[in-house]
Amino acid sequence: MEIWVLGALGRTGRGITAELTAKGLPVVLVGRHRERLEATGAKFVVADGVEAMAAEIRRQRPAVVVNTIGEYAATAATIARACLPGGHYVDLAADLVAVPRLLDLHEEALAGGSTFVTGAGFGVLATEAVVAKLCEGRETPSRVRVDALASVAVEAGAVGVALAASIVDVLTTGGRRYEDGRLTPARLGAEPQTHTLPDGETAKSAGVPSGELVAAQRASGAPSVTVMSGLAPTSPAVRALLPLLGRVVSIPLVRRFAVRQLARVTTKAAPRPRAHSWGHAVVTWPDGTTREGWLRAGEGMDFTTAVVAEVAARLARGEGKPGAHTPASALGADVAEAAGGTFVL
Ligand SMILES: NC(=O)c1ccc[n+]([C@@H]2O[C@H](COP(=O)([O-])OP(=O)(O)OC[C@H]3O[C@@H](n4cnc5c(N)ncnc54)[C@H](OP(=O)(O)O)[C@@H]3O)[C@@H](O)[C@H]2O)c1
């Protein structure tokens, strides 16, 4: 019944490990620094790199693997496949390359009786859960717009390679939206909007290519879907530069350089800008009916940590639908409430 946390000494890995331990679940820390792992006093496995981690998973067969090592587009499939047959897998991917790539393993996961969950975190779950609630028991809508409005406290320290790579990958993908059922290019930072939130505060969002798009499309079946994020730049000057920046960092050498430089950037600690993080969805049906809903959560990173721990705990109990899914698709929209969210519909 062991739950392995890969990258357990990293930012999210530490929080997820603490939550799982608080739930009384048997956690094993997996990382590449023996002394630092030993110092935690917890059970651990030393594995330096993706292939070594996959080999240990195949040898020791944990019930659930939580992958926090990042670079998901390149490495998640290797780790997830190592869980087959019967083992379950969770990651925190949120970009439009990694999320579909993991979902493409659906048939393999089904055949192996495993559940693979990608997109376990604030953005994907907080938006797909609202879409699922709004669409429950209704016909397929024609249009969906979702906004992921995270309120995140900044930890002091370096950005780190995993997070830096995720940010650079958003730039290289460029904007995307579903139009007539097809994934089509859109402008990065499109349709900037200021929202008045249910608690009276305000937040801005603009278009980004992110995993929320695929999750909202699958949860609704709608042919037209757009996704906006509070993390997207909304200033006109920065938005104007984004397409060019995206093309430049698409060059592999420049990408590696950009990731290295960004990873070294240090941030000062700062409190979350607003009391709550919000997932938001507006769903429109062919007859013109529109429904709007929200999911209120606390600090964005805390919610992400709670989501991953809740998903892992449920998978360990064998509650996941076999196949490759996003969190609400594997376990139902109520997993967002179990992780501390509240629907405002
Ligand atoms: N979806 C969401 O809402 C959400 C939220 C937060 C984070 N994330 C994503 O989650 C990932 C982790 O973020 P983080 O902030 O926790 O990053 P982090 O602090 O850099 O932690 C990553 C951990 O993985 C380990 N690692 C990285 N590459 C490895 C490799 N090839 N082999 C073995 N270990 C490796 C690192 O080990 P070392 O200590 O040895 O370097 C570190 O312990 C990122 O991709 C980030 O974008 C998603």
Burial of 12-29, coded b for 16+ CB within 10 Å and e otherwise, reads bbbbbbebbeeeebebbb
pTM (2 decimals)? 0.95
CA distance 93 to 166: 8
Instruction: Report the pLDDT averaged over residues 303-309.
Output: 98
What's the 13 CA to ligand 1 centre distance in angstroms? 7
pLDDT confidence of residue 245: 87
pLDDT score of 111 more than 90: yes
* 8 Å CB contact between 188 and 174: yes
Domain ranges of the chain: 3-121+302-333, 122-299
Q: Indicate which atom in ligand 1 lies nearest the CA of residue 124.
A: 1
What pLDDT sits at residue 174?
Answer: 81
Q: Which of 122-136, 230-244, 275-289 has the lowest mean pLDDT?
A: 230-244
> Looking at the predicted structure, is the pLDDT value of residue 204 above 90?
yes
Give buried/exposed letters for 33-68 (b at 16+ CB in 10 A, else e).
Answer: eeeebeeeeeebbbbeebeebbebbeeeebbbbbbb
Residue of higher predicted confidence among 238 and 291: 291
Contacts of 89 (CB under 8 A, 6+ apart): 64, 65, 67, 79, 80, 83, 114, 115, 116, 117
Fold of the domain spanning 122-299: Dihydrodipicolinate Reductase; domain 2 (3.30.360)
Is-contact 266 239, C-beta < 8 A?
no
From 32, 37, 171, mutation site for ligand 1 pocket: most ligand atoms within 8 A of C-beta: 32
Tokens 């830096």 belong to which residue? 164
* 235 — pLDDT class (breaks 50, 70, 90): confident
pLDDT at 242: 85
Q: Does the pLDDT value for residue 173 go beyond 90?
A: no
pLDDT score for 143 = 98
3-state SS assignment for residue 241: helix
Amino acid at 36: R
Question: Which of 92, 122, 308 to mutate for ligand 1's pocket (most ligand atoms within 8 Å of CB)?
Answer: 92
Q: Comparing 10-24, 44-58, 140-154, 237-251, which segment has the lowest mean pLDDT?
A: 237-251
- Kind of pairing, strands 323-325 and 44-46? unpaired
- Is pLDDT above 90 for 26? yes
Mean local confidence (pLDDT), 316-327? 98
For residue 234, pLDDT over 90 is answered with no
List residues near ligand 1 (CB under 6 A): 7, 9-13, 31-33, 49-50, 68-70, 92, 94, 121-123, 160-163, 166, 304
**The two domains 3-121+302-333 and 122-299 share their CATH topology (first three levels equal):** no
User: Residue 141 pLDDT more than 90?
Assistant: yes
Task: Please state the rounded mean pLDDT for residues 247-261.
Answer: 93
- Between CA 65 and CA 67 the distance in angstroms is 6
CA-proximal residue: ligand 1, atom 29 (nearest): 69
- Bridge partners (DSSP) listed for residue 278: 149, 296
Give the CATH number of domain 3-121+302-333.
Answer: 3.40.50.720
